[in-house]
Structure 1
Amino acid sequence: MIISVDHGNKSIKTPHLLFTSGLVESENQPGIKTDCIFWDGKYYSLTEKRISYLRDKTEDDRFFVLTLFAIAKELEYAGIKEPDDTVDVTLLIGLPPAHYGQLHARFEQYFLRKREVVDFEYNGRYYSIRIGKVVSYTQALAAAVTRFGELKKHASSYIIDIGGYTVDVLKLRYGKPDLAVVESFEQGVITLYNSIFSQCNSQYALHLEDCDIDEVIKGEPTILPGEVQILIRKMASQFLTEFCNFLGERSIDLKVSKCVFAGGGSLLLRQIIERSDKVGFPIFIEDIHANAVGYDLLYKSEVAAHGGQ
């Protein structure tokens, strides 16, 4: 079975599912009913508190366990529950453009685990899988593939994938990557969150969570005081302005370029981007699962090109 997983610093995405990149590890079974995996002698439960940023996600087993959750959820989505036989998995993954060359081989081996069978229990059901093949792709480009029909018409455009910790910027010419601009910057929305946390704590003695900030930026109902809301919106606007100026110093002018925004951070900041005078022609890939969907499209295209091999 082909399973595509986008390992974000803020959330894990498959073509159909989304959950926070957060885990709680325990020696004992959780007393509260929640999504839980038992693997290698330990219990792991999903949590809304995300893992601290890891540039190299192979440092420990946490992203492997998050991937087991993703695989189990995709199997259940496909109607495969507690299969009788070992499920052979082809796993499709991705990395930021600037990290791909250095990390992709290690990332692939991290999931392969010598192609050994992995047995685990997910929400009381038993699963046995073997990850026999891992194929990695470039984030942002994968998201662009989902809009290739539109992008191939433009002589020049930029894909800007705003994620949890990284912002990936990729230049396209008629829908194909131009290697003159393939960048990843550690300036994603988690850096914005951290700045807001610090300011709200120092000015108002408030300890906010990501979701509190999301509500204000999206214009959703919130119980936060008005002055705190104003601060959050001001800092979010400053974040976008500083990022656009940062790109401008690298000769990327968003005022005169066709810009396609992807990723959860782009959707979070959409209203601010659309109101900004820093971005001339914003287009949004509204599907937060776009990278995972793109991995799947790229892999199937490659298989078809090689006659199904």
Structure 2
Amino acid sequence: MRKFENGLKVIGTDLGYGNIKTANTVTPTGLTVYDTEPIFQGNTLEYNGKYYRVGENHKEFIADKSVDDDFYILNLMAVARELQRTGTYTASVYLATGLPITWVRTQRNSFKAYLMKNTLVDFRYNGNDFHIKFVGCSIYPQCYPAIVEHIHEFKGTNILADIGNGTMNILYIQNKKPIEIKSWTEKLGVNQCVIRIKNTVMDMYGVKIDDSIVEQYLRFGKADVSDKYLQILHKTTTEYATDIFAALRKYEYNSDLMKLYIIGGGGCIVKNFADYDKERVIIIDDICAAAKGFEYLAYMQLNRRS
């Protein structure tokens, strides 16, 4: 969160399919709706007579995030978590968020209208009442904002890969400048690896492996399961890591001619399971980098207007 003049708060929300990130918080996107207050407390948002438990599981991939109210509620939760850190419960907020690179042109206006459909919003989150006035919203292409504050380091030819839960966004950066005509979105997010593992386990042993086991293995390369399941986890994840580089080569990635920067949750898979040149492939571990970048761009945009 960045503070602007007159007390305005600029808040970046990275509305991913796996996690919702702000500059300082990370929450899984799972959303369960209740008509009455849930039995267990924590991460619960009350809005318009409904109770929303946030953070259990993940949201499935959909090509248009505005088709239901889920991302609207998740965005409210993200704003609340960021404000709550400073004990702020009444605020004027300027939103800054993003969409996959190739979706921005066609979905920017509709997604902005979706997030801004209510200017004044009152809701309750984890026992605290929030009163928010949304004064504006900027929608940026994913990928570039995550490194925008460090763009001076991107000399020569570079390729940036943002591997989220649903998609992988690819962008060329030439001598510190993003090249719009060399940007793509692939449906090769981390969830594709999770699906492959779950399907393989079901096909081979007729059992369902829990998402939490798979996610733990993808993040840390370890899981408390027997060897036969570890073999599937390792083999399938290594194949997925190989597919990431195959997709990049489809867009003329050549490690001898350019550096590769990887951001997003898929970075841990590359780090743990891929064979790569650590001098030529840089993994940016900060999962909140995109949200911070959205905030920075919006703050600079507001400064230019004032």
TM-score normalised according to structure 1 size? 0.91
Shift of 1:280: 7.1
- Residue 183 of structure 1 aligns with an amino acid whose one-letter code is W
The residue that corresponds to 1:213 in the other structure is 214
Equivalent residue runs for 1:131-280 within 5 Å:
131-151=134-154, 154-219=155-220, 221-254=222-255, 256-273=257-274, 275-276=275-276
> Where does residue 92 of structure 2 map in the other structure?
88
* Aligned counterparts, 1:17-56, within 5 A: 17-56=25-64
- Which deviations, in whole Å up to 9, do the C-alpha atoms of 1:5-27 show, x marking residues without a partner? 00001000000000001110010
Letter in 1 for 2:282: I
Deviation sequence 1:23-66 (CA, Å, 0-9, x none): 10010000111211111111111132111112111011111111
Per the alignment, do residues 113 and 258 of structure 1 end up closer, same or farther by CA in structure 2, a change over 3 Å counting?
same
What is the Cα deviation at residue 182 of structure 1?
Answer: 0.7
Whether contact under 8 Å (1:257, 1:280) holds in the other structure is no
Task: Output the CA distance in 1 between the equivalents of 2:249 and 2:223.
Answer: 35
Q: Note if 1:107 corresponds to 2:126.
A: no
Residue of 16, 25, 40 corresponding to 2:24:
16
Paired amino acid for 2:283: F
| 3-state secondary structure, aligned to 1:106 | helix
- The 2-side partners of 1:222 and 1:237 are apart by 15
Residue 217 (structure 1) shift? 3.4
CA displacement at 1:206 relative to structure 2: 2.9
Contact 2:220 2:272 in 1 (8 A): no
Asked if structure 2 preserves the Cα contact closer than 8 Å seen for 1:254 and 1:280, the reply is no
The CA distance in 2 between the partners of 1:174 and 1:211, in whole Å, is 41
Task: Give the partner amino acid of 1:286.
Answer: D
Q: Gaps (5+ residues) in structure 2?
A: 1-8
Moved more, 195-204 or 141-150: 141-150
Cα deviations by residue, 1:208-256 (Å, 9 ceiling, x for unpaired): 2333123333445522111211221111111122232233233233454
Contact 1:119 1:127 in 2 (8 A): yes
Q: What's the counterpart of residue 83 of structure 2? A: 75
Q: Deviations over 1:100-158 (max 9, x none)?
A: 1011111111011152x11111122211112120111111000121432322xx21101
Given that 2:241 and 2:269 are in contact with CA atoms closer than 8 Å, whether structure 1 keeps it comes out as: no
The structure-2 alpha-carbon separation of the partners of 1:129 and 1:108, relative to structure 1 and needing over 3 Å to count, comes to same
* Cα distance change, pair 123–216 in 1 and its aligned pair in 2 (3 A): closer
Query: What amino acid maps onto 1:59 in structure 2?
Result: V
CA RMSD of aligned residues (A): 1.8
Question: Does the C-alpha gap of structure 1 residues 17 and 119 become closer, same or farther in structure 2, counting only changes over 3 Å?
Answer: same
Instruction: Figure out how many residues of one structure are paired with residues of the other and give that number.
Output: 298
What is the 5 A alignment of 1:52-67?
A: 52-67=60-75
